[in-house]
Amino acid sequence: MTKEWAVVAGATGALGSAISEELRNRGLAVLGLARHGDSSSGVLGIDLRDDDSVAEVSRHVDGVVRVLVHVAGPPLAGGVADVDPGSVLEAIDVKVNGLLRLVRAVDSCFEVGSRIVAVTGHLGYDPVPASVTAGVGNAALGALVRQLAGAYGPRGITCHGVAPGPVDSPRIDRLIEHLATTGAVSPEEARAKLLREASVDRFATPADVAWAVGLLLEEGATVMNGSTLFLDGGRRTAMP
């Protein structure tokens, strides 16, 4: 029986760890990737900004890539008034070019029914001035999802986006600190304001995002090719 793999880029973060666990529970062998890998925990050190580094991934897959998940993201780097343009370029390189490099590296390992999943974020669709790198990087990644869907769909390989709102993880603490500083409010006030922007009284969790990625492995998700699944608690009000 051919071994089925999940390749997860950004596997050591809160989201990547939860997604990896979900995919293992679904019976897949998980190849975790991270910029600072840890061989003792089975995570391969890969720099998504480097062609040669990413090309190494296929050497560690001895079977079919059932799902490729890109959840890696660059650091938050300030607001629109003061962000370093180089940080914006780095965000695009990690998010957009990183996914392109990964897809090309494992292309020969895909088969009919394989999935490509990009974890973007609601800021790519509802941008705010305080989060330029996340907004621009995720907007571009959302567009790439549609491009890949058109290219790979005829082969029976579908591409999907998952766009959570703020996720209750260490990363949100850094965002709240930035919002508190720029808004001249306490972190508690900044957190409460961020929470009020949703129509449900909680943030997304890493487990929520992992659930969504697992859902996309179902046969019925095939017809979702090219679409983005929002996990933003009702934050987005624009149509469609």
| pLDDT per residue as tens digits for the range 101-129 | 999 999 999 999 999 999 998 888 888 77
* pLDDT, position 240: 64
* pLDDT, position 8: 98
* pLDDT, position 108: 97
Whole-prediction pTM: 0.93
Residues 171 and 205: beta-carbon distance below 8 Å: no
Q: Is the predicted pLDDT of residue 133 greater than 80, yes or no?
A: yes
Q: Is the predicted pLDDT of residue 5 greater than 90, yes or no?
A: yes
Q: Is the predicted pLDDT of residue 212 greater than 80, yes or no?
A: yes
Q: Is the predicted pLDDT of residue 199 greater than 80, yes or no?
A: yes
- The residue-averaged pLDDT of 74-85 equals 79
* pLDDT, position 50: 96
Q: 167 Cβ partners below 8 Å, 6+ apart?
A: 14, 15, 203, 204, 205, 206, 208, 209
Closest CA to 92 of 69, 56, 124: 124
Q: Is the predicted pLDDT of residue 21 greater than 90, yes or no?
A: yes
Residues 159 and 145: beta-carbon distance below 8 Å: yes
Q: Torsion angle of alpha carbons 205, 136, 12, 204, nearest 10°?
A: 0
Residues forming a β-bridge with 82? none
Instruction: State pLDDT tens for residues 55-76.
Output: 999 999 999 999 999 999 877 7
**Greater model confidence, 178 or 210:** 210
Instruction: State pLDDT tens for residues 22-67.
Output: 999 999 999 999 998 776 677 999 999 999 999 999 999 999 999 9
Cβ neighbours around 109 below 10 Å, total = 18
**Greater model confidence, 145 or 200:** 145
Token pair listed for 181 = 């500083």
Closest CA to 14 of 214, 207, 193: 207
* pLDDT, position 183: 77
* Ramachandran region, residue 233 (left: φ > 0; alpha: ψ -120 to 50; beta: rest): left
Instruction: State pLDDT tens for residues 141-195.
Output: 999 999 999 999 999 999 999 999 889 988 788 778 877 877 788 888 988 888 8
* pLDDT, position 175: 74
Per DSSP, the residues of 44-91 read EE--TT-HHHHHGGGGG--SEEEEEEE---PPP---TTT--HHHHHHH
* pLDDT, position 172: 81
- The pLDDT mean for the chain works out to 91
3-state secondary structure (DSSP) of residue 226: coil
Cα–Cα separations (whole angstroms), residue 137 to 37, 95, 177: 23, 6, 21
* pLDDT, position 126: 85
Per DSSP, the residues of 96-158 read IIHHHHHHHHHGGG--TT-EEEEE--GGGTS--TT-HHHHHHHHHHHHHHHHHHHHHGGGT-E
Instruction: State pLDDT tens for residues 224-237.
Output: 999 999 999 998 87
**How far apart (Å, rounded) are the C-alpha atoms in residues 11 and 193?**
30
* pLDDT, position 4: 97
Residues 126 and 196: beta-carbon distance below 8 Å: no
